[in-house]
Structure 1
Amino acid sequence: MVNLIRASALANFGDLVTDLGGDPDAVLLEHGVDPAVAGDHDRFLTYTAVATVIGEAATELGRPDFGLQLARRQSIDILGPIAVIARHADTVADALDGVSRYLHTYSPSIATELRRGAAASDFTFTVLLRQLPHRDQMVELSLGIGLGALRLLVDPDFVPLRVTMQHARSAEPEAYEELFGCPIEFEGSRNCLALPNGALDTRIHGSDSAARALAEKYLAPKRPDLAVADHVHDLIRRLLPLHQASLVDVAREMSLHPRVLQRRLAESGTTFEAILDEVRRAAALSLSATGLQVAQIARMLGYSEQSSYTRACKRWFGQSPRQLITGSTSRPWRGPHAQP
């Protein structure tokens, strides 16, 4: 199972921690999360890292209801294009089915499913990772966000028939009552919101089929294994200046065995070496525009021998490192993703 989630999962995390008297940057950094990444839908974190940050914040702040509180500050919009599909579905049931169909593009570590019944239905939430710290916080957060989406689509005062959670109660009963407003069953067989079928059949006002189709077209080719390649690219880019961008280093950051990571990348049609080469190439171009010495650039790109960087530079650009520096500094610097 791919241990990933978009960093928008931590949207408004900092504000909540600050309001509760804590230091959000300290909490994030302590557990290896760059504060600049938290909340960014275009970046990935491991699901384990997000669960750890949220769970440890709850512990350090003495707030076992932290996940419930964060759910109040987040919305379905953290799902990006998936939220567009939900907002512009024909009915509430169609919206929930759309979320379930495309949720893997937000996080392949979780899944939802709408199970229809004769009089009532269950919208279930499952964490697919076997080992996960602070699972209870993530379940409560996710069910809270699900309820927020239903209140957006059905009615601001919508209340489910009941909520079931697989874990034991961790916060005071009042915290659950305040958010969900319905009976809560703990240590149940699954994590779910029980919903009346009448609510599921509610038509969504203002839905735009063209907007929904555009979002579906965008998400249709997305696959969980491609997200792995994106995440590896991002990690290498951040770890390279620290000389910690080896396969073992990156796999450790993703909580994967190196062989598993290699297999995941092969499934997406690439390799760790190819991604590393791509990141080094872009970095070489941007660093050459700064006027640094060749030896310095070689070290920053993780080459133990300057001759290895020289060979790579000729392969990438058909130029020596010194020629690249001369050419780069004679024109405006266009950033790390510029092409020669």
Structure 2
Amino acid sequence: MSADATSRSTSATISPNILRYLTAVTDELGADLRPALARVGLDEQMLQSADLRVSYRQGSEVIRCALQLTGSDHLGLRVGARQHPTAWGLMGFALMAAGTLRDAVETGVRFQNLSGAMVVWSAGQADAGFTLWADQPDPAVDAGVGTFLVQEAFASVVTVTRHALGAEFCPRHVDFLFAAPPDPAPYHELFGCPVRFSAARNGLAFPAAWVRTEMPGRDPVTFASLTTLLDEQLASRRTRQDLLEVLEISIAQSLPDVPTFAEQARRHATGERTLRRRIAECGTTYEALVDGVRRERVELLLRRPDVTLTDIARQAGFSDVRALRRAIRRWHDMTAVELRDTVHHS
């Protein structure tokens, strides 16, 4: 990433479905995820809000903490296996009203940004037949978090499909990019099919007969009505995401100076009150966006051993090194030296 760009990872645009189920599963395993939620500005009550959106960064940090607390190599499988079509909101009902399983999968891919997905879904015909692929939105994602996300993604797809079509559904095979874990048995038990590790890409292949299977709740009228509503939601979401992205890029390009909120309102030819309301509708604040961009800049500069903390503080817009150290402690609960060592080894 160039110094004058920023990442969508700071924008709050993801439905917190995964975090809701993750909190329930970690409770069952005797781990308390609430302090981790608090560190990224969330709590259990907030996770119950249908309007809440979290950033990829917030989600990743909570997942990373859950992995550390539980020590589970299969946490993503457990979280995915807890889900139901209704966990995906309106899109879940649209999947149940689709004509065939293939129609349902393609609908899920089309509206993936509304379901709380933290992977990038795509689907198409491959040598093995109709296949659903799950790619990481950020190739530099922490390896443990990346493994969790793909586990959760495929486990939830299989679980939701079984809710809709019956417990006998099994994929043709499931491929994972990561290496085989010490104990692969939970994968075979959950998927009930060949599971291949160290594959070229994360993919789930569907048996041809299942692809053509009609959904029990198929209803063309209901399906059309629901997809119309989903299209409207998607259009609204894109408008909101565009606003956040424009603001983040503006902040990043201005560092070490930060545009005042009044300046941003003028740039958008709107009043401060209106702009603040639009940002709030995205589930965040201008201050949080500034904090996220600064954080990303700091983490980027810490990867360069030739840049001192004084230089980083200046380039990221902090008043001095002490303010930078306090921010790093708040973000990561570690010192600047510890964080620099962490990013160098990540």
**Alignment partner for residue 48 of structure 1, among 32, 39, 57?**
57
- Structure with more contact order per residue of length (Cα contacts < 8 Å, sep ≥ 6): 2
Q: CA deviation at 1:260?
A: 7.8
Q: Report how many residues are paired.
A: 257
Q: CA deviation at 1:280?
A: 11
Question: What one-letter code is carried by the residue in structure 2 that aligns with 1:225?
Answer: R
State the secondary structure of the residue aligned to 1:11.
Answer: helix
Structure 1 runs, 4 residues or longer, greater than 6 Å off:
229-232, 269-272, 279-282
Q: Tell me how far apart the structure 1 counterparts of residues 51 and 119 of structure 2 sit (CA, whole Å).
A: 18
**Alignment partner for residue 198 of structure 1, among 209, 226, 232?**
209
Q: Specify the alignment match of 2:223 in structure 1.
A: 212
Q: Is 1:160 aligned to residue 188 of structure 2?
A: no
Q: CA deviation at 1:27?
A: 2.8
Q: Tell me how far apart the structure 2 counterparts of residues 177 and 130 of structure 1 sit (CA, whole Å).
A: 27
Summarize the alignment of residues 130-149 of structure 1 with structure 2, pairs less than 5 Å apart.
130-133=139-142, 134-149=145-160
Q: CA deviation at 1:257?
A: 7.4
TM-score normalised over the length of structure 1: 0.66
Q: Tell me how far apart the structure 2 counterparts of residues 85 and 147 of structure 1 sit (CA, whole Å).
A: 17
- Would the alpha carbon gap of residues 162 and 72 (structure 1) be closer, same or farther in structure 2, given more than 3 Å must change? same
Q: Tell me how far apart the structure 1 counterparts of residues 72 and 271 of structure 2 sit (CA, whole Å).
A: 40
CA contact (8 A) 1:9 1:78 kept: no
Question: What one-letter code is carried by the residue in structure 2 that aligns with 1:278?
Answer: R
Q: Specify the alignment match of 1:75 in structure 2.
A: 84
Q: Tell me how far apart the structure 1 counterparts of residues 280 and 168 of structure 2 sit (CA, whole Å).
A: 54
Question: What one-letter code is carried by the residue in structure 1 that aligns with 2:88?
Answer: L
Q: Tell me how far apart the structure 1 counterparts of residues 279 and 61 of structure 2 sit (CA, whole Å).
A: 31
- Would the alpha carbon gap of residues 145 and 227 (structure 1) be closer, same or farther in structure 2, given more than 3 Å must change? farther
Bigger drift between 28-37 and 195-204 goes to 28-37
Q: CA deviation at 1:281?
A: 11
Q: Tell me how far apart the structure 2 counterparts of residues 94 and 83 of structure 1 sit (CA, whole Å).
A: 13
Q: Specify the alignment match of 2:277 in structure 1.
A: 278
CA contact (8 A) 2:177 2:199 kept: yes
Q: CA deviation at 1:9?
A: 2.4
Q: Specify the alignment match of 1:102 in structure 2.
A: 111
Unaligned 5+ segments in structure 1 are 233-246, 283-340
Q: Is 1:23 aligned to residue 32 of structure 2?
A: yes
**Alignment partner for residue 2 of structure 1, among 5, 8, 17?**
8
State the secondary structure of the residue aligned to 1:37.
Answer: helix
Q: Specify the alignment match of 2:183 in structure 1.
A: 172
Q: Is 1:258 aligned to residue 271 of structure 2?
A: no
- Would the alpha carbon gap of residues 281 and 219 (structure 1) be closer, same or farther in structure 2, given more than 3 Å must change? closer
Q: Specify the alignment match of 2:124 in structure 1.
A: 115
Q: Specify the alignment match of 1:332 in structure 2.
A: none
Q: Specify the alignment match of 2:69 in structure 1.
A: 60
Bigger drift between 135-144 and 42-51 goes to 42-51
CA RMSD in angstroms comes to 3.4
Q: Tell me how far apart the structure 2 counterparts of residues 183 and 39 of structure 1 sit (CA, whole Å).
A: 36
Question: What one-letter code is carried by the residue in structure 1 that aligns with 2:113?
Answer: H
CA deviation map 1:114-136 (0-9, x unaligned): 22247622111122233323111
Q: Specify the alignment match of 1:186 in structure 2.
A: 197
State the secondary structure of the residue aligned to 2:42.
Answer: coil
Q: Specify the alignment match of 1:236 in structure 2.
A: none
State the secondary structure of the residue aligned to 2:111.
Answer: helix
Question: What one-letter code is carried by the residue in structure 2 that aligns with 1:216?
Answer: T
CA contact (8 A) 1:76 1:145 kept: no
Q: CA deviation at 1:275?
A: 4.8
CA deviation map 1:125-180 (0-9, x unaligned): 12223332311111110111111122123321211121111122346212212211
CA contact (8 A) 1:160 1:196 kept: yes
CA deviation map 1:26-46 (0-9, x unaligned): 232234433222254421001
Q: Is 1:129 aligned to residue 142 of structure 2?
A: no
Q: Tell me how far apart the structure 2 counterparts of residues 108 and 70 of structure 1 sit (CA, whole Å).
A: 13
Q: Percent identity?
A: 21
Q: Is 1:228 aligned to residue 241 of structure 2?
A: yes
Q: Specify the alignment match of 1:317 in structure 2.
A: none
Q: Specify the alignment match of 2:326 in structure 1.
A: none
Q: Tell me how far apart the structure 1 counterparts of residues 240 and 185 of structure 2 sit (CA, whole Å).
A: 39
Question: What one-letter code is carried by the residue in structure 2 that aligns with 1:2?
Answer: R
CA contact (8 A) 1:111 1:127 kept: yes
State the secondary structure of the residue aligned to 1:116.
Answer: strand
